[in-house]
Structure 1
């Protein structure tokens, strides 16, 4: 959506021409999934996000589309079964966006879990997925898969296959599908209040445009059904939120390091020596990622979450444990990211890593609130919320049916010839990332890459012109990831980015310089390495 079409959509909303069937609050993976299923079911749908699409957890996850082997080990059979089936569905629908990734779990003598127990767990995992991916590697084979791995006491390794994605791009694709079916989706629009009639039934939402730092005036839209998919923020709009199961914000942080400093071609997992939590090193966007931590996030949810010095040390320690011959220090870190998971607490003072990751849905007279859950199962969560809420639509009798379960979430990419000079891997990624929009992207600009990021200038220009970019961090941290994978947030590339993208963004030169200053300050605070130790230790 361009700036002019965004303004047209806002003007239409302010005119209050007709009510919506459903208003979705939250532009992360869950909200996008709800909007996609609602619009695909023929419901008049509005989605609003108070910041940028995928600004919260859905651009800062561990990027895994997986069944959650650890959850199977904890007895969460249904969660794992649903997730592995959704993983297979997404792999089939969007290769290049969701890609298979081999996971290797080394086993060391006299350390839990032993290989026999882990292989039994993998057998159950394969049965749930309906196919076999597990394998056993001898110590020699393990070192072929993972060169440089600590071989002291190595008994072998278990291998299995899950998947990896770009979470923010997945959200963009789902929003594009929702729009293709008629949904109105707007970022930087905040829900200030849920509107109700005298009997307490939901009648709509009061909204405010926050694109200009919240300076816009409030306006109202009418709807009998509101789905609150705001994640860690869900309790702000849910009445009686202090009762029952509370949302426990848990922070997970990651490090991005150069691939040549930690060259892993698969995801390598090990239990951290401090707390026995599983931590991963995995390849992503041509770099290596280390993650994740898991601790209570007690800071203001409206501020950008950021990694602490204690978390940096925690993650560097697992790298030193896995690869003792490849020292990794703070100066090697390209970037960091921290996300806040909206885990629904069981209220019995569990350690963060022991909390249940299953989602919870609350109902209140036309307000459906969703929290918890996994990125992988977004479609199932969306359909469950809509199935509960569709009976709140009094103007429609009988309640509308949801779209056919067999219909794809992500429409197939059109059959286009691969452009000259574009590699097979890049072409598959572009097809997966952009789907039915690929033809337009190919005409946006050069398909040459920006530095060694693997991101093309065409992608940056296309996003600037068509993908709701309100601020520079939208473009460099979520529409593309060059701010995470190039040094210092791609600072050296900013003059060239301005030359290529300023016109498409519609920004004056003073606005561009203001955005650059804002972005670099934000990057240093929330995506860089802490300049000095901050308070807080990992539990």
Structure 2
């Protein structure tokens, strides 16, 4: 049986870590194949709280090294993709019965100074009776603190990393799973299979196992009897989305009596995102859902603080993800488990190396990828240098990272685009939004409108350049348009999109656009 093309690196897993590794490796000149059994960011990497942050609460567990690393990465990422990432101010109401003010001030001082800040302002105390953030809260809350972190469109972050990897020579195969891989003659011989059952055989000089919740399962199954002493602890995090609960642009971080932290974040203009829970999970990571108890817990957490209460029937949408945290036997509960990562290299003499990723958080994905490719490069005898720090992601090459100025120019270039649509295009695609619009001179030129603001031109772009193959890819990962569609018509809209994508798949997509500044 022929083993097919030889790649330097076979990356298994299309979440943020896998896409980041593929991008970094391709940029160093390695030949790369990434396979993902579902869609890009289909699981954990699209189910986060959407934050680029150091993790203020991790200071309480003594995770100073992790927090410093995350804080350093925070500004690197904000500069790399200012269209999908931007600064966000957080308000922490003070609850004297939970944590004393001196402890909060000390934690925020460390948070401000553990890493250099250029884009983000520091923290300070506020009088809730005078600050706009105090208006929605119960009257007993009189003081609080404000600090900075960042927001990210997590699913688009994954797609942009995969897109950059492809434009640097990587091959990206979604809905393609690793069936098995065996070491032979100093290489890996691997068999992949798509959803239709068709198989492809490839060879690889190395494998990066970035399968997230399935990292251990892969080691024990498809990768055979490889040796590891590490494991991951699966923790489910659930979020709810409700109507907009406040009018200002700050987010909230609330302390719960059980020491959990809950965020309430402005979301998609008309909504509030609330989360997350931390629950040990032992089920199928691909079929995780928010439970009734979790939804009630999040509602109750919000109701301790807001004057206007919410109930489960007020929840517009929920989503859950399974975080593959590095196993920590000293942690008494899921909240205390470290969010740091570990990279394990299995490289027996004269055999092809295998690198496995355990743990991690979205903020440190770029650094994780850099360290992973450093290890692989050394094992492969390459001295290829690091390059991703300071390099923008596709669409992120916005002058001075000034999104507002870019948006104004984009609106002037396409004055016929309604302002909300122009904003969404600019946010989602950055300097590449013009490629989507193309030669269109009116809304009619963008083609059929499948849902408010979703035109055929965008579907074509997502199919041709961003691996969108199903309605859920478009409505819930490449965008959050599903949230804005009337629930009564959502199923019909999804069917129409699925039919269009299926029929469009019969015609060859246009080739990837070169990396240029719009």
- TM-score normalised by the chain length of structure 2: 0.84
Between the aligned partners of 2:419 and 2:304, the Cα distance in structure 1 is: 36
Match of 1:270 in 2: 254
Q: Deviations over 1:203-250 (max 9, x none)?
A: 23221112x3xx32x332111110000101001222578963321110
Q: Contact 2:128/2:135 (CA < 8 Å) preserved in 1?
A: no
Matches within 5 A, 1:449-460: 458-460=457-459
Bigger Cα displacement from structure 2, 448-457 vs 329-338? 448-457
Say whether residues 1:161 and 2:148 are aligned partners.
yes
- 1:107 aligns with 94
CA RMSD of aligned residues (A): 3.0
1:322-401 matches, within 5 Å, as 322-323=305-306, 325-348=307-330, 350-365=332-347, 366-393=353-380, 398-401=382-385
Change (3 A) 1:95 1:227: same
How far off its partner does 1:388 sit? 0.7
Q: 1:436 to 1:454 in 2, by over 3 A?
A: same
Return closer, same or farther for 1:241/1:353 CA change in 2, 3 Å cut-off: farther
Counterpart in the other structure of 2:303: 320
Matched residues, number: 478
Unaligned runs of 5+ in 1: 1-13, 509-539
Matches within 5 A, 1:401-420: 401-403=385-387, 405-410=389-394, 412=397, 417-418=410-411, 419-420=414-415
- The separation in 2 between residues aligned to 1:139 and 1:380, in whole angstroms, is 38
Give the ranges of 4+ consecutive aligned residues of structure 1 lying more than 6 Å apart after TM superposition.
447-457
Note the alpha carbon deviations across 1:186-205, whole angstroms, 9 max, x for none. 1101012122127xx55232
| CA displacement, residues 263-313 of structure 1 (integer Å, 9 cap, x when unaligned) | 56321121223x220111111112101100000111122x42101111011
Distance 2:249 2:11 in 1: 39
SS of the aligned residue for 1:136 comes to strand
CA contact (8 A) 2:191 2:200 kept: yes
The 2-side partners of 1:448 and 1:106 are apart by 48
Q: Which moved more, 1:443-452 or 1:157-166?
A: 443-452
User: Of the candidates 70, 93, 105, which is equivalent to residue 119 of structure 1?
Assistant: 105
2:264 matched residue in structure 1: 281
Mapping for residues 100-499 of structure 1, pairs under 5 Å:
100-108=87-95, 110-131=96-117, 132-142=121-131, 144-152=132-140, 154-197=141-184, 202-210=187-195, 212=196, 215-216=197-198, 218-238=199-219, 244-259=229-244, 261=245, 263=247, 265-273=249-257, 275-286=258-269, 287-301=271-285, 303-323=286-306, 325-348=307-330, 350-365=332-347, 366-393=353-380, 398-403=382-387, 405-410=389-394, 412=397, 417-418=410-411, 419-422=414-417, 427=422, 429-435=424-430, 437-443=432-438, 446=443, 458-488=457-487, 491-493=488-490, 495=492
Q: Could you list the per-position Cα deviations for residues 477-516 of structure 1 after superposition, in whole angstroms to 9, with x for gaps in the alignment?
A: 112212245453xx525546666774454269xxxxxxxx
In the alignment, what sits opposite 1:57?
44
Go from structure 1 to structure 2 and tell me whether the alpha carbon gap of 1:242 and 1:315 turns closer, same or farther (over 3 Å shift).
farther
Distance 1:204 1:444 in 2: 46
The 2-side partners of 1:293 and 1:448 are apart by 42
SS at match of 1:313: helix
